[in-house]
Amino acid sequence: MFGAKSIITAVEMGTSKICVLMGRLDEKGNINIIGHGEKNSDGAIIKGEISNMEKTTDLLFDTIHAAENSSGESLDVENTYVAVTGSHVRGSIGTGSVVVTGEERKITPENIDEVTRTAAHIPMPSEYTVLNSIFGNYLLDGIRRTQNPENQVANRLEVSSFTISGNKNCVETYRIPLREFGCENPEPVFSGLATAICVITDDEMKHGVLLVDIGAGTTEYMMFHESCGCSCGVIPVGCDHIANDLAIGLDLNVAYCRKMLNENIAHANKLQGIDHILLEGTMEKRKIPINSLDKIIELRLSELFKFIHGHLENEKVLKFINRGIVVTGGGSLLQETKGIANSVFDCLVRTGLPPNLSGAVSNLKSPRYSMITGLIAAGESIKRLKMNSKEGPIRRIDRVFQRTWNKLRRSAKDAFPF
């Protein structure tokens, strides 16, 4: 069932697109994409929430069909992973501690299992469910730090964890469309975490970095420090809000505003020394000042970054942004994004791109695909964990995941330095 050659299917039901990727990780740690299907969401998903289930299921059917056709393989229902987002998602830091017993006080895999389970157990309301847990370095006897404590000798073993949870009903809503395809138990992965797997380097994660993934309907952020998560969240504002602001502010059609943003028309005009966008239609002829566009975009983006700044400040983790900010997602393609992030946080900002991909599908090297490619890697590590674990369906991502991650990060670092 979980053979090494089995194919991972990653499903993204986003505000702008429904995307399905089929792939696997090869021996070198590269993501090998063999199938790709994509459809415009066409209003079925608004602000990251499924608003029209029937339409979503129909679109998903077409997308999965397209991915299957391009890969020549059929969907592996046991290895399907779905990205989950929404303002209900939250993260909690936990710690676990166990006393090492046994003759020589040698740490066994059972000890490690117990300590991670204790760390991941966070009291939460009954309407919430755990999505993913990640673990930081292990601490032996309160002094020694190690990445792998197995077979080391200690009296006490501790570990810090970061557990991401979400509202049960909201998470279930993402899984229901996949059940139509015989996929009874698709694994949910927080989309911010999936993105991080792809775009954050090892060094960044160790010293502290903030990832901001600006999608069409939502913006996910996730903060890492000491090789573990320390804060995450979702702000239900994305590029669609910018398009909507432009449409309202400039009396334009939303579709035209989306086109303006996608094609960066304002920037192209600026490069040519033109300070306006000429609107020529059947009804009107108008010169829209580029300054007006810039102001609307700047106000929205700077508000978005200020919200994230405020959240991190409240959680007292702002000081951990030592390696700057990585922006990704469709919103990172806007010319203004990096500059505004820099002015709000006053630190280095880079654009996060998916790492080197191999395989038949090669047109995915855009920040728009960071999350979905990361989801393949997350799926691969969860799959391996399932193979090795006796503990049942706890959705955790740990050492196996981190080894995979390390490989990916190395290639990402080489490819996209600051």
Partner 1 sequence: MTETRNENNKTVTVLGIGKAGTKIAEILSTFPEAEWIKVAAADTDSSVIEASTLKNMFPVGIEWTHGMGCGGEVIKGERAFAHFSKKQIETFFEGSSLLIIVGGLGGGTATGGASVLARIAKKMKIPAVFIVTTPFSFEGHSKRMISEHGIKALVQDADVVLPIPNDILYSTLKSDTPADDAFKKANSEIARAIVGVAEIIRGKNLLSADFSDLKSALNKRKSFCGIGLGSASSADGPNRCITACERLLESPLLGGVDKIRNADVLFITVCGGQDMNIGEMKQALEVIHRHCTEKTKMIVGASNDPAYGDLMQITLLAIYYDLTVEKQSAGTFGPNMPKEYPLEIVGSDKPPVQGDLPLMQVSKGIFTNTSKNIISGQDLDIPTFQRMGIHIDKGK
CA distance 225 to 294: 34
State which of residues 245, 338, 384, 394 lies at the interface with partner 1 (CB under 8 A): 245
Q: Kindly state whether residue 199 participates in binding partner 1, applying the rule CB under 8 A.
A: no
Q: Kindly state whether residue 339 participates in binding partner 1, applying the rule CB under 8 A.
A: no
CA distance 372 to 83: 8
DSSP 8-state code for residue 369 = G
Give the interface segment with partner 1, choosing from 16-24, 308-316, 357-365, 395-403 (CB under 8 A): 308-316
Q: Kindly state whether residue 49 participates in binding partner 1, applying the rule CB under 8 A.
A: yes
Least distance in Å: CB of 241 to partner 1? 7
CA distance 309 to 298: 16
Phi, psi of 51 (to 5 degrees): -105, -20
State which of residues 56, 63, 80, 92 lies at the interface with partner 1 (CB under 8 A): 92
Q: How many CB atoms lie within 10 A of CB 383?
A: 23
Question: Tokens standing for 32?
Answer: 């090998």
Q: Kindly state whether residue 265 participates in binding partner 1, applying the rule CB under 8 A.
A: no
Q: Kindly state whether residue 240 participates in binding partner 1, applying the rule CB under 8 A.
A: yes
Q: Residue 297 or 385: which CB sits closer to partner 1?
A: 297
Q: Kindly state whether residue 273 participates in binding partner 1, applying the rule CB under 8 A.
A: no
Q: Kindly state whether residue 279 participates in binding partner 1, applying the rule CB under 8 A.
A: yes
Cβ burial 154-176 (10 Å sphere, 16+ → b, else e) = beebbbbbbbbbbbeebbebbbe
Question: Tokens standing for 132?
Answer: 């993913």
Least distance in Å: CB of 16 to partner 1? 13
CA distance 21 to 40: 15
Q: Kindly state whether residue 286 participates in binding partner 1, applying the rule CB under 8 A.
A: yes
Least distance in Å: CB of 337 to partner 1? 15
Least distance in Å: CB of 39 to partner 1? 19
Pairing mode, strands 8-13 and 80-84: parallel
Give the interface segment with partner 1, choosing from 178-186, 203-211, 239-247, 339-347 (CB under 8 A): 239-247
Q: Kindly state whether residue 305 participates in binding partner 1, applying the rule CB under 8 A.
A: no
Q: Kindly state whether residue 299 participates in binding partner 1, applying the rule CB under 8 A.
A: yes
Q: Kindly state whether residue 202 participates in binding partner 1, applying the rule CB under 8 A.
A: no
The label of the residue with tokens 């239609």 reads 281
State which of residues 105, 114, 152, 307 lies at the interface with partner 1 (CB under 8 A): 307
Least distance in Å: CB of 122 to partner 1? 8
Distance (Å) of CA 409 to CA 38, 189, 246, 353 = 26, 19, 37, 11
Q: Kindly state whether residue 51 participates in binding partner 1, applying the rule CB under 8 A.
A: yes
Its sign, for the CA torsion 387, 393, 398, 401, is positive
CA distance 115 to 112: 5
CA distance 244 to 239: 9
Q: How many CB atoms lie within 10 A of CB 266?
A: 26
Site string for partner 1, 106-135 (x = CB under 8 A): ---------------xxxxxxxx-------
Q: Kindly state whether residue 259 participates in binding partner 1, applying the rule CB under 8 A.
A: no
Q: Kindly state whether residue 267 participates in binding partner 1, applying the rule CB under 8 A.
A: no
Return the closest-CA partner of residue 169 out of 81, 55, 88, 56: 88
Q: Kindly state whether residue 241 participates in binding partner 1, applying the rule CB under 8 A.
A: yes
Least distance in Å: CB of 403 to partner 1? 29
Least distance in Å: CB of 232 to partner 1? 13
Its sign, for the CA torsion 108, 109, 110, 116, is positive
Least distance in Å: CB of 235 to partner 1? 7
Its sign, for the CA torsion 47, 50, 52, 54, is positive
Q: Kindly state whether residue 67 participates in binding partner 1, applying the rule CB under 8 A.
A: no
Site string for partner 1, 2-41 (x = CB under 8 A): ----------------------------------------
Q: Kindly state whether residue 47 participates in binding partner 1, applying the rule CB under 8 A.
A: yes
Question: Tokens standing for 202?
Answer: 């090892």
Looking at the DSSP bridge assignments, the partners of residue 232 are 222
Give, for 228, the enclosing helix (H) or strand (E).
Answer: strand 228-235
Q: Kindly state whether residue 251 participates in binding partner 1, applying the rule CB under 8 A.
A: yes
Question: What residue ranges bind partner 1 (CB under 8 A)?
Answer: 46-47, 49, 51, 92-93, 121-128, 235-237, 240-241, 244-245, 247-251, 254, 276, 279, 286-292, 294-296, 299-300, 303, 307, 310, 313-316
